[in-house]
Amino acid sequence: MTIISQLREEMIVPELAAKSKKEALTELAATVHGAHPEIDLDTLYEVLRTREKLGSTGIGDGIAIPHGKIKGLKEIIICFGRSAKGVHFDSHDNKPAHLFFLLLAPEESAATYLGCLAALSRFLKNPGIRSKLMHAAGRREIAEIFAETI
């Protein structure tokens, strides 16, 4: 079982309202905070913003994987958002991002954290999976796509 297959429905945003990178990060952070109120929303947003200053987490092919480490976090947390219109995310290919995976990890989990980032990248390199995610009818269907990735 992979981290992707364990993504909970409440951590899926089937249509992001965001029109900018800042709004996308804010919306995804708010989704995580809603499911994990123990995570301070301002701290979470600042971690994501600081990471983006190092270089965009928009990896191209319509994908962005904003990520960061949170002090005191007990487990890896993943959140997914989709934007049909796309959001300019300073991606390497200069194309808008449509599929967003927010990944948060405990500060002391370097190997697991990097392994999850690599697994997400491999998962999303498959054009068939990207297409399924873009065309899924809603939260439940998106969750089913993730559940198939065992």
Cα–Cα distance measured from residue 41 to residue 32, given in angstroms and rounded to the nearest whole number: 9
Instruction: Give the tens place of pLDDT for each residue, 57-101.
Output: 999 999 999 999 999 898 889 999 999 999 999 998 999 999 999
User: Does the structure show a pLDDT above 70 at 2?
Assistant: no
Instruction: Give the tens place of pLDDT for each residue, 7-52.
Output: 888 999 999 999 999 999 999 999 999 999 999 999 999 999 999 9
Compute the residue count for the chain.
150
Residue 1 binned pLDDT confidence (cut-offs 50, 70, 90): very low
Q: Which of 67, 92, 98, 135 is catalytic?
A: 67
User: Does the structure show a pLDDT above 90 at 118?
Assistant: no
Q: Is 67 a catalytic residue?
A: yes
15 to 84, 85, 95, 137: CA distances (angstroms): 7, 9, 18, 10
Q: Please check whether residue 15 is in contact with residue 82, taking contact to mean a CB–CB distance below 8 angstroms.
A: yes
What is the reported pTM? Answer: 0.92
CA dihedral 24, 25, 31, 37 (to 10 degrees): -160
Class (C level, CATH) for 4-147: alpha beta
pLDDT at 6: 67
